[in-house]
Chains A and B, each alone.
Chain A
Amino acid sequence: MTTFQELRLDGVRRRFGGKDALTGLSLTIRRGEFIALLGPSGCGKSTALNCLAGLLPLTDGSIWQDGSRLDTLPPERRGFGMVFQSYALFPHLSVRKNISFGLQMRRLPRDEVRRRTDEAIKLVRLEEHARKLPGQLSGGQQQRVAIARAVVLEPSLVLMDEPLSNLDAKLRLEMRTEIRRLHQSLGLTTVYVTHDQEEALSLADRLVVLRDGRVEQIGTPEELHNRPANAHVADFMGYRNLLPMKVKAVHGDTVALDGSGLTLEGTPVGPVAPGDDVVAGIRPEDLRAGPHGVPVTVEVVEYQGRELAIEARTAEGVALFLRATERPSPGDRITVTADPSRVLVFP
């Protein structure tokens, strides 16, 4: 197993037809890390992955594996495993031959190819399907073949391009756990592309949030979840309420806000001064119906098992998303409050 201590992306940039699809991506990946590239479609996350894999040449910047330069090597000489969104299984080869393809390309002895292929098939529990063609498998099984094919080579880095996006919700959860389990048990280093924040938060050790080809924030799931760097990241991290407001006063660590038909107290994420236009980010679960607070009108109530999800409107007609345990009726007027430490104020 060829491995590295760290893989360094240095100012990686890729242009498509005069437009930057990815720019200024600098990131150091340590061995054994699980990195998620997160962002909406068109944000450059797949471009970043393809640049790492060598399927796209860089316009600018470099990629280093410890001391050696990597971005000048073709994909077949980088020794990375890749799982494609469409799985890209070879349709004319059986499951076994798909998995052993990479081993055969390395011209390993026949015994070793057989042994390692058997192990990989067992790892993803496809023993009964080893002789089938990919077309005869279900989506989840194809997904497992794709993963086995990538990890059988014990690559120094595994790249995954939205591997779960073609699966149904239940299977997606199962495979998510499966991917994390494989990552840990095989000691892999993984770069995982997704647009699903829940997937990224639950899988990754560190997340890279991209938008319009630029890095918005790099951090651990906790950092991103609790301290998004700006309103865009907050939007992606489940801060469904992003309210345009005005700073009324600053008292030490909290600021008083006004606007959108609400008055709130919040914690600033950057420097703010009275009179500034800001965006207040609040998660629906941090906005609670309570006896005191701002009056709003309930519009839609959705049952979600443990809780109710409520869409309400302020006096100025701004939509608010919140949670409640008791069921209000549409049209009811309720009052809502939020803990100032849970209201993030983005300049």
Chain B
Amino acid sequence: MTATLPDRDTSSTRVARRHRLAERGIDRQLLLLAPALICVLALFVYPFAYGIGLSFQPAEGGVFGAYRAFFTDAYQRDTIATTLGLALPAAILNVAASVPIAYRMRGRFRGKRVLTTILVVPITLGTVLTAEGLLNYLGPTGWFNRTLMTIGLTDEPVRLTNNYWGVFFSLVITGFPFAFLLILSYLSGIDPTLDRAAATLGAGWWQRFHRITLPLLAPGLATTFCLTFVLAFSVFPSAVLVGDPAGTTRVISIAAYHAAYEVYDYPLGSAIAVIMGLVELAVVAVVLGLRSLLYTGSTGGKG
């Protein structure tokens, strides 16, 4: 009896410790995280850190040499403004155009699935196919210009490709479905009874929209804006294919590509990539900061 007691004590403390750890979420199930963790570390964290490290090791100019080179060269520095000039309007348009369409489509009606599919198809096409289509359709000898000239609206083709507008259209075509889908799901998360309650209180459709639906949707709009903005900011293929990559659409990703793979200045390429990330972060931080001022709680609906 006396001999077994200490034994039992140690075993009970061991059980107790395991119990205490499990209560804090530490148990053997944590091992399930290992494969994902290894992938994230090996494929994301390490290359990311390596890139940042690389950006601080330029051939000349000290630790911040690559950054100094970027910001002192107006041709490089202006890519930030060029990219923002494309990505911000495109993201705003995508969000703004999605809201009325999603609002109209928030209920149930026949053919909703077909319509949603049509609106979402551009996501699956990819930027290159979209760019090819744009070149053929909006180009100087494309249908669009030929139609304009046939009906006598213009005497010479309107230039809509290989400039700012080509890239802008491409960003809208690929970004809109994404924004639309997100906003549609945010909208269906708002309890439709709220709209009806507002109606019985004497609010017309516009008042119901801007006093009830819009405030409840606004946090979702902010999130959607951030995501479409980040997508548009890293534009590369369409800036080259339907843009003017040497001039008006020389976006920041082109600058990074040029530095890294045409000049073989890896530190500068990495520095530009880091700057690109920081600009994105800054915009996202501003938008999410504004979002935190809004009501972000339950919106009554499901989803």
Residues on A close to B: CB < 8 A?
A: 53-55, 74-82, 84, 86, 88-92, 101-102, 105-106, 133, 135, 149-150, 153, 159
Known: A88-B193, A92-B215, A105-B207. A74 touches B199 (CB 8 A): yes
Known: A88-B196, A91-B295, A91-B297. A76 touches B215 (CB 8 A): no
Query: Once bound together, how far apart are the Cα atoms of A254 and B198, in whole Å?
Result: 55
Query: Once bound together, how far apart are the Cα atoms of A164 and B203, in whole Å?
Result: 25
Known: A76-B203, A105-B202. A82 touches B197 (CB 8 A): yes
Contacts of B201 in A (CB 8 A): 76, 81, 101-102, 105, 149, 153
Contacts of B295 in A (CB 8 A): 91-92, 133
Interchain nearest-CB distance for B143 vs A (Å): 43
Interchain nearest-CB distance for A196 vs B (Å): 21
Known: A86-B300, A101-B211. A76 touches B204 (CB 8 A): yes
Contacts of A135 in B (CB 8 A): 297-298
Contacts of B298 in A (CB 8 A): 91, 135
Query: Once bound together, how far apart are the Cα atoms of A53 and B212, in whole Å?
Result: 19
Judge whether B194 and A75 touch: CB under 8 Å.
no
7 closest A-B pairs by beta carbon, nearest first, are A92-B295, A102-B201, A88-B197, A105-B202, A82-B200, A88-B193, A75-B199
Tell which of B193, B297, B298 has the most Cβ of chain A within 10 Å. B193
Query: Once bound together, how far apart are the Cα atoms of A92 and B200, in whole Å?
Result: 18
Interchain nearest-CB distance for A82 vs B (Å): 4
Judge whether B297 and A75 touch: CB under 8 Å.
no
Interface size range on B against A? 20 to 34
Give the nearest-CB partner of A77 in chain B.
B202
Residues on B close to A: CB < 8 A?
A: 191, 193-194, 196-204, 207, 211-212, 215-216, 294-295, 297-300
Contacts of B196 in A (CB 8 A): 53, 55, 75, 82, 84, 88
Contacts of A102 in B (CB 8 A): 201-202
Contacts of B203 in A (CB 8 A): 76, 101, 105
Give the nearest-CB partner of B208 in chain A.
A76
Tell which of A80, A88, A133 has the most Cβ of chain B within 10 Å. A88
Give the nearest-CB partner of B195 in chain A.
A88
Known: A91-B216, A92-B215, A101-B211. A55 touches B200 (CB 8 A): yes
Judge whether B299 and A91 touch: CB under 8 Å.
yes
Give the nearest-CB partner of B211 in chain A.
A101
Interchain nearest-CB distance for B199 vs A (Å): 4
Judge whether B297 and A90 touch: CB under 8 Å.
no
Interchain nearest-CB distance for B246 vs A (Å): 49
Judge whether B199 and A106 touch: CB under 8 Å.
no
Query: Once bound together, how far apart are the Cα atoms of A74 and B206, in whole Å?
Result: 14
Provide a sorted-by-A list of 10 A–B residue pairs whose CB atoms are within 8 angstroms. Answer: A55-B196, A76-B200, A77-B202, A82-B197, A84-B193, A86-B193, A91-B194, A105-B202, A133-B295, A135-B297
Known: A88-B193, A92-B215, A101-B211. A76 touches B199 (CB 8 A): yes
Contacts of A54 in B (CB 8 A): 199-200
Contacts of A105 in B (CB 8 A): 198, 201-203, 207
Tell which of A54, A79, A102 has the most Cβ of chain B within 10 Å. A102
Tell which of B201, B207, B298 has the most Cβ of chain A within 10 Å. B201
Query: Once bound together, how far apart are the Cα atoms of A80 and B200, in whole Å?
Result: 6
Judge whether B202 and A106 touch: CB under 8 Å.
yes
Contacts of A89 in B (CB 8 A): 197
Query: Once bound together, how far apart are the Cα atoms of A100 and B295, in whole Å?
Result: 18
Interchain nearest-CB distance for B297 vs A (Å): 6
Interchain nearest-CB distance for B303 vs A (Å): 15
Contacts of B300 in A (CB 8 A): 86, 88, 91
Interchain nearest-CB distance for A63 vs B (Å): 15
Give the nearest-CB partner of A105 in chain B.
B202
Interchain nearest-CB distance for A223 vs B (Å): 31
Given contact pairs A76-B203, A84-B193, enumerate 17 new A-B contacts (beta carbons under 8 Å): A53-B200, A74-B199, A78-B200, A81-B201, A84-B196, A84-B197, A88-B197, A90-B198, A91-B295, A91-B300, A92-B294, A92-B295, A92-B297, A102-B201, A135-B298, A149-B201, A153-B202
Query: Once bound together, how far apart are the Cα atoms of A81 and B193, in whole Å?
Result: 14
Contacts of A76 in B (CB 8 A): 199-204
Interchain nearest-CB distance for A31 vs B (Å): 20
Contacts of B211 in A (CB 8 A): 101
Give the nearest-CB partner of B300 in chain A.
A91
Contacts of B215 in A (CB 8 A): 92
Interchain nearest-CB distance for B299 vs A (Å): 6
Query: Once bound together, how far apart are the Cα atoms of A91 and B295, in whole Å?
Result: 8
Judge whether B200 and A75 touch: CB under 8 Å.
yes
Query: Once bound together, how far apart are the Cα atoms of A153 and B203, in whole Å?
Result: 13
Interchain nearest-CB distance for A290 vs B (Å): 53
Judge whether B199 and A92 touch: CB under 8 Å.
no
Judge whether A88 and B202 touch: CB under 8 Å.
no
Interchain nearest-CB distance for B217 vs A (Å): 10
Give the nearest-CB partner of B194 in chain A.
A88
Query: Once bound together, how far apart are the Cα atoms of A102 and B198, in whole Å?
Result: 8
Interchain nearest-CB distance for B204 vs A (Å): 6
Judge whether A90 and B200 touch: CB under 8 Å.
no
Tell which of B202, B212, B215, B295 has the most Cβ of chain A within 10 Å. B202
Interchain nearest-CB distance for B29 vs A (Å): 33
Give the nearest-CB partner of A92 in chain B.
B295
Interchain nearest-CB distance for B173 vs A (Å): 34
Judge whether B200 and A101 touch: CB under 8 Å.
no
Contacts of A86 in B (CB 8 A): 191, 193, 300
Query: Once bound together, how far apart are the Cα atoms of A76 and B197, in whole Å?
Result: 10
Query: Once bound together, how far apart are the Cα atoms of A91 and B200, in whole Å?
Result: 17
Contacts of A149 in B (CB 8 A): 201
Give the nearest-CB partner of B199 in chain A.
A75
